[in-house]
Structure 1
């Protein structure tokens, strides 16, 4: 038996890297499929999916329906309004790249849902390959592979199999981070515009490019910074910033309302705050949410901002001092800091919170650094438990769980 295990290990180690990642990815997808089937069996008439839904129903559920709507009907030229006169939820909150790419693929396969599933599934595999490439030079081949295992099996792994833009954005993000770290800046002229129209978050990448440029300038004596690289970094930072605000401009031009996009995004926040939302103020969302959720949990609302501040300080300290995080290298830490700051500035924590943390996926590498087999198996087990908790609440319970009390 020991000889068989040794032989299998050697064959695994000698197999081509894309094949090893494919085996990991397909195994993870099989587990996720089993969990989705289990959730479907437990769905009731009280869920948004009703009793006995199929996997195809999950593929086009929740926000996937908005991408589908974008693909079929485009964007409204007139913003829909609620009975109170506020801007209602509408398609302007969802970027076009995934929606129309899935439509093109779906044209060949017979439905938008099939196109969306295949796009998410395939993009997820290549995101695993890109994540391994991103981490292997810093963590080594073994830890990089474990990072892929955690990433492919994580709590939000259902995103690899449903009609969301997450996996496509992650693929583009990992490629962009890798290109930046390897100083292949010219690739970013292609990647940044596509990222900008796939999913919100390119402004975080603009901030990261700025911090990357400052870091390189600070260390220019030991790591020479050529003039052409300075030009690339400045121009690409400007491109990412312009691209980040361009969707707001486009929405304003089409609808005739300069605030169309922000008003659309705030329409989702309005569902959670009984008192309504007056307008967008950076960083206000997390403060409001901390008070809201502490109130819902029966705790003093004044504790919310205090706990929030402690979380921010803890996250900052981890990025700076934690050895496992430092092993990721300065660029991935700068990206994590940039994206966390972006989320703090624009987001209101609610049912999408964990999904919106996916761009921090390179941080899986920090959990893969410890070489203890018990530790790694424990992290994987926690990932699978978290995955079931997420799938059960989102797909089995549906509306019976994710609703404002």
Structure 2
């Protein structure tokens, strides 16, 4: 629609308006006036075919004839540029509209990093990135870190992270090895969380159970050193395999001490009470509500944030250490990202993000995409000379081959992961 409307305004003939693609045949079609409206059978977006334009249809026969007033090629460069950028504009407008409606009707629910009073607990992958247990995340690339959900993505894309560590501000560049581990792992996506007390929930066959630890015991010291959080206890056990340790617990308002050996893996055999962790995590939730005008403003901010995030993520694909191209996904990956049950906030949030992603993708100066067409038209505006027709045709062919290669990479990754995933469980 973004291309269709300005094409009509500038009196271009629109030959086709299709949802999905229709090589050889279409599922449904109806001609109204000069335009054929239809539904194709290959479910990848859609297109409009504008007369007199070099596009992915590679219909060059029409271009061999003299230019007609109603053809795209006969219009001034500034009109052609507006027609080309119309799709990108609508992608951004759609994302902005969805985010605005989400703000207005549901608000924003997020985990506020300022409420992590005791700092964060870090997974092994997060530690490889450079974070430490107890850190309070202050800034990412110089901007205040507020929302945990956004910050977890932004830190993977950042050049600099600033934290409060042991009372001092520390800035560092996240290590690429850690980022690669997080992107490549199915279990490491939540690489930071809140800290919680080490309360025993269940015991397995092991040293803790044999020695007499019980459900509900709260660990307060390890080898005489005070313990407040489960991550401190885990860190204290690190490297202590088959070694004697002393554990102090608080039970029924009494302090009890147990001495025993860790097992060969350096564990003592208990699971912490995650209800306590969940309660602590829920205490960090903030519900931000918006009235009409602030909802519009915040909607625009979220659109810009989403666009910026897409650009930064794109860079990860070509990083030699991070190897982001290994984690690309297509339709199968998108379906897997969707919640198992109906969650309209998640659905519309994803749709807005995806629309912003399409705006960025289409803006890339690759022949075959809107950005490629816009590049050649901008060149004509600057130089006053149109790009030769043969150059446009060859560039379009190269762009189509590149895009097909990119689709093969994405679909190949999807299919490969789909096939091998049962064997990785």
TM-score, normalising length from structure 1? 0.27
Larger Rg: 2
Higher relative contact order (CA 8 A, sep 6+): 1
Which of the two has greater helix per residue? 1
Q: TM-score, normalised by structure 2?
A: 0.26
